[in-house]
Structure 1
Amino acid sequence: MRPASLPGLPYTFDDPGLLEQALTHRSCGNPHNERLEFLGDALLNFTIAALLYRRRPEAAEGDLSRMRARLVRDRTLAEIARELDLGDHVRLGPGELKSGGYLRESILADALEAIFGAALLDGGVVAARELVEAVVGPRIDTLPAAELLKDPKTRLQELLQGKGLALPEYIVVDEQGADHLRQFTVECGVDLLDAPVQATAGSRRKAEQAAARAALERLEATS
C-alpha cells in the first residue's frame, strides 16, 4: 500500500500516488517529480513572500527579497528535508542511488518542493499553503538581521560608500585547472586596508564574494 504521509510531515494525502510521484527522481523513471517541483516552487515563493509581508511589517522591499531568498534556497530546503528524513523515502535510479543521491542537496530540495506541489493538487491552495507555512515558516524566527543577508560585495560597497571612500577593486590574479575544475584567485583592494586580500573559488563571482567577505572580516578586526 502506498503511504499517504511521512513521519513529521503535517499533511496526509487523499491521493497517495501524488506523494509517491513527488518522491520519485527522474532517474527512477516516469512519472517523476519535476513538474510537481515546478508547481511547488511557485507556491513556496508566493507563500513565503506573503508570510514575510505579514510577519515583518517593518522590512523594506529589498530586505523582504533577501529574507525570502534565504528561506527558499536549496540549502535551507535540504536542511528541512533532512529533518523530515526525506532521503530515506526518495526513489532514485541505480546510478543516483549508488552515488549517494539521497544525500544530495539539490535532490532533497527538489523533493520537498515537489511535495508542496503535490499537496496543492491534492488538497487545494489553502491546505498547501498551510503545509508550507508549517514546514518552512518557523525558519523566519531564526533569520539573521536583514543587513547580514546582503551578499559580501554589497555590504563592503555600502560600507565604503558610507565613509565616502572609493569602491573596492577586484582583480583576477590567477586562474588554474581544467575548464570543469577551474579555480579563480581574486584580489580585493580597499583603501582602508594596508594590503589587498585574496580568495580562491570555482568561479570569478564566488571568488569576488569570498574576497569581499575576507575584506569585511579584516576591517572588523582592525576597527
Structure 2
Amino acid sequence: MQRIKQEREEILKELVKKLGYEFKNIKLLNEALTHSSYANEHKKRKIPYNERLEFLGDSVLSIVISDYLYNHLATLQEGELTKIRASIVCEPSLANCSINMQMGNYLLLGKGEEVTGGRERVSILADTFEAIIGAIYLDGGLIKVSEFILRTLHETIQDAIEGKIFKDYKTQLQEFVQSINTKKISYEVINEEGPDHNKIFYVQVKIGDEVLGEGAGKSKKEAEQNAAQKALKKVM
C-alpha cells in the first residue's frame, strides 16, 4: 500500500471519530475512500482504490443484516426477511448513512468526478459505505464490523422492520409479477458508455424473453432501479 501523508492521516482521524472504530491499519480506511477516478488520474503511482473493498463489504453487510433479522424476527418467513433486508441494504439507505457521517468530504476523487458532483452522488456514497465495511472487516474482524453495521444502521433497520421505508422499484416489480406470473425476472447490462470513473450503465429488465423496460444509471444498481420503474409503469 501507498504511504499516507501526515496531513491526510489527520483528516482521516476526523472520520475515525465519526465511525466509532479505531483502525489498526488506517491505510485500509484511505483505500476505502479512494475512488477509481482518482487512481486513474494517478496511474503511475499505482494507487489502490475501493472497488475490491466494496465487493467484500457488500457481502459482509448482507450476512450481518441477514443474521440479525433471522435471530430477531423468528416468526417471519424467507420472503418477508428478504424484503426487509433489501430495504436496509439498498443504495439510498447506505448513501444516507454516508451523508450522516459526511463521508463525501473525505473522498479522494478525480477532477472529472469532482466537478460533476461525485461527492453527493448516491451510488458513490453507497459504494463508499460498503467499502468502509470491507475495510473494518479486514482490520478488526466480523465482531467489530457487526458492531459498526448494527450501530450505524440501527434506525434504518428498525424503520425497515416497521415498514416505514418505501419499497424499492425492483421489489415492487418482483411482487407484482409474482402475483400474476411464474416466469423469472432478470436484469441484463446491455451497454456501457464512458470512462471507468464516469461510466453510464444501460440495463434491461425481462420476464422470460419479454423486455419490460430499460434504464440507465451511474451504477448497475441505479440502472436496474430505473429499468424496474419503467417496467412498473408498463405493467400496472
| Mapping 1:9-28, distance limit 5 Å | 9-28=19-38
SS in 2 for 1:8: helix
SS in 2 for 1:14: coil
Q: Identify the residue that residue 145 of structure 1 maps to in structure 2.
A: 163
SS in 1 for 2:18: coil
Distance in 2 between residues matched to 1:58 and 1:117, nearest whole Å? 31
Q: Identify the residue that residue 175 of structure 2 maps to in structure 1.
A: 154
Q: Any gaps of 5 or more consecutive residues in structure 1?
A: 162-166, 168-179, 183-199, 216-223
CA deviation profile, 1:32-89 (whole Å, cap 9, x unmatched): 1111111111100000000111222221101111111111111110011101100111
Identity %: 34
SS in 2 for 1:151: helix
- Which amino acid in structure 2 is aligned with residue 154 of structure 1? E
Indicate if the aligned counterparts of 1:87 and 1:108 stay in contact, CA closer than 8 A: yes
Structure 1 stretches of at least 4 aligned residues deviating more than 6 Å after TM superposition:
none
Q: 2:129 aligns with which of 112, 135, 145?
A: 112
Distance in 1 between residues matched to 2:88 and 2:113, nearest whole Å? 27
CA gap of 1:204–1:99, structure 2 versus 1, over 3 A, is: closer
Distance in 2 between residues matched to 1:4 and 1:38, nearest whole Å? 24
Q: Identify the residue that residue 98 of structure 1 maps to in structure 2.
A: 115
Kindly tell me the number of residue pairs found equivalent between the two proteins: 179
- Which amino acid in structure 1 is aligned with residue 172 of structure 2? D
Report the Cα offset of residue 157 of structure 1: 6.5
Distance in 2 between residues matched to 1:37 and 1:127, nearest whole Å? 17
Indicate if the aligned counterparts of 1:5 and 1:16 stay in contact, CA closer than 8 A: no
Report the Cα offset of residue 25 of structure 1: 0.4
1:210 corresponds to 2:220 = no
CA gap of 1:95–1:51, structure 2 versus 1, over 3 A, is: same
Q: Any gaps of 5 or more consecutive residues in structure 2?
A: 1-5, 40-46, 182-199, 203-212, 216-225
CA gap of 1:74–1:204, structure 2 versus 1, over 3 A, is: closer
Distance in 1 between residues matched to 2:103 and 2:29, nearest whole Å? 12
Distance in 2 between residues matched to 1:113 and 1:141, nearest whole Å? 20
Report the Cα offset of residue 117 of structure 1: 0.7
Q: Identify the residue that residue 37 of structure 1 maps to in structure 2.
A: 54
Q: Identify the residue that residue 87 of structure 1 maps to in structure 2.
A: 104
Indicate if the aligned counterparts of 2:173 and 2:228 stay in contact, CA closer than 8 A: no
